Structure 1
Amino acid sequence: MAAIKAITIEAPDPGAANAFYDRAFGLGGTIRTRAGEAATTGFRGCALSLVVSQPGTVDSLIGTAIDAGATTLKPATKSFWGYGGVVQAPDGTIWKVATSAKKNTGPVTRDVDDIVLLLGVNDVKASKEFYVNHGLTVSRSFGRKYVEFDGSSSSVKLALYGRKAAARDVGVDPDGSGSHRVVIGTDAGPFTDPDGFAWEPAPA
């Protein structure tokens, strides 16, 4: 099965971006940065989601992200689905931090259970078929609305929304063009998906 080993974020100042991520989330080598200044405007068609165990962890991670320079797109609040919020890093990458729990059940930690790359695509069905043909296995699917693929505990999971739904989920306008400013590191590349998301062999 194909797996996402790392996400590389392209930024004009990769050193500053890397320092932000170390301070904000401390995710180690799973999130990498490199120089990139390709033109991009508006919504880049993707977001990264950190799935955690309880609201206190959401607040802790969002708090350090804001302290490190992130801006709030959606304040952390309770919802029907649990508790979560959305911030945007100084390099423009959007981050969602969420839990299905509505109350803390133990001491607050900064442990992240899952990292999920959320892609807002033009045609969910077509993208689903593309990824299945490239070795990914579907774990959940809701027609043309949402698809989630299997991922091991050591890899980043992949999920697909329609572009408008993805933008709404993270609190931004769906309009945007240019570079996604993200490269997906895999053990099954290189290839580019129908929406222009590039996959390449993960760096050692």
Structure 2
Amino acid sequence: MHTIEFVTIEVDDVAEAEAFYAAAFDVSDRVRVRGAQEPSSGFRQFTLSLVVSQPATVRNVIDSATVAGATVLKSPAKSLWGYGGIVQAPDGTIWTVASSSKKVAGPATREIDEFVLQLGVTDVTASRQFYADRGFTVSKSYGRKYVELETGTVALTLNNRAALAKTAGIPADGNGSHRLSIGSTAGDFADPDGFIWKAPAG
């Protein structure tokens, strides 16, 4: 099984981004930043999702990110599937913080149960086949709408691009660099939507 060890977010100001992520989220083992000036506008075709245990922790993490400089795109609230909110980091990356539970079960923490990279792709079926052909294990598949892959430390989902943008609360239009690279045991390649995968150094 191929795994994703971390993601690298490309930013204009490395020091600022490192300070933000240190204050906002406890995910330093799975998120790296590096300087880059690649042009990018609009939706970058991905979001990062933090799954936590309960609503109080959702609010705590959203509050920490907001104090650190994030912009709230969707305030924490109940939904059919649970409880969650969405913020955008100063570097432009969109983060979802969610829990399947709708009830507070104890004091808020900053503990992250699952870290998910959600790719917004043009053709979910074609992308699913591309990754399967490269040796990735598909754990769930819902036709042309949604696919989950088994990728270890960083979970991976393939989503319809327009649907993912709608969930994030922003227009689906965008072009230029994704400003993201994916550190994985699968090696070096680019997928059909232009996401860059790199083998971890060493």
Q: TM-score, normalised by structure 2?
A: 0.98
Unaligned runs of 5+ in 2: none
- For the residue of structure 2 that corresponds to 1:119, the secondary structure is strand
- For 1:177, which of 163, 175, 178 is the aligned residue? 175
Counterpart of 1:10? 10
The residue type equivalent to 2:9 in the other structure is I
Deviations 1:16-60 (A, max 9, x none): 111100100021221000011100000000000001110011001
Provide the rounded CA distance (Å) in 1 between the counterparts of 2:69 and 2:54.
23
Q: Report how many aligned residue pairs link the two structures.
A: 202
Provide the rounded CA distance (Å) in 2 between the counterparts of 1:128 and 1:82.
27
The residue type equivalent to 2:123 in the other structure is D
Q: Is the 8 A contact 1:55 1:83 kept in 2?
A: yes
Deviations 1:83-107 (A, max 9, x none): 0010000000000000100011223
- For the residue of structure 2 that corresponds to 1:28, the secondary structure is coil
Following superposition of structure 1 onto structure 2, how do residues 18-33 of structure 1 map, counting pairs within 5 Å? 18-33=18-33
Deviations 1:73-125 (A, max 9, x none): 11110000000010000000000000100011223211111100000000000
Percent same amino acid at aligned positions?
53
Q: Is the 8 A contact 1:2 1:134 kept in 2?
A: no
Counterpart of 1:143? 143
Unaligned runs of 5+ in 1: none
The residue type equivalent to 1:16 in the other structure is E
Following superposition of structure 1 onto structure 2, how do residues 56-71 of structure 1 map, counting pairs within 5 Å? 56-71=56-71
The residue type equivalent to 1:90 in the other structure is P
Tell me which stretches of 4 or more aligned residues in structure 1 moved more than 6 Å. none
Q: CA RMSD in A?
A: 0.9
Provide the rounded CA distance (Å) in 2 between the counterparts of 1:202 and 1:59.
33
Q: Is the 8 A contact 2:88 2:95 kept in 1?
A: yes
Following superposition of structure 1 onto structure 2, how do residues 74-113 of structure 1 map, counting pairs within 5 Å? 74-113=74-113
- For the residue of structure 1 that corresponds to 2:29, the secondary structure is helix
Q: Cα–Cα, structure 1 residues 42 and 22, in superposed 2: closer, same or farther, change >3 Å? A: same
Pairing 1:38–2:38 present: yes
Q: Cα–Cα, structure 1 residues 126 and 12, in superposed 2: closer, same or farther, change >3 Å? A: same
Q: Is the 8 A contact 2:26 2:112 kept in 1?
A: no
Task: Return the offset for 1:14.
Answer: 1.3
- For the residue of structure 2 that corresponds to 1:125, the secondary structure is helix
Q: Cα–Cα, structure 1 residues 93 and 203, in superposed 2: closer, same or farther, change >3 Å? A: farther
Provide the rounded CA distance (Å) in 2 between the counterparts of 1:90 and 1:110.
20
Pairing 1:121–2:124 present: no
Question: Which range moved further: 99-108 or 112-121?
Answer: 99-108
Provide the rounded CA distance (Å) in 2 between the counterparts of 1:71 and 1:166.
18
Q: Is the 8 A contact 2:136 2:150 kept in 1?
A: yes
Q: TM-score, normalised by structure 1?
A: 0.97
Provide the rounded CA distance (Å) in 2 between the counterparts of 1:6 and 1:174.
25
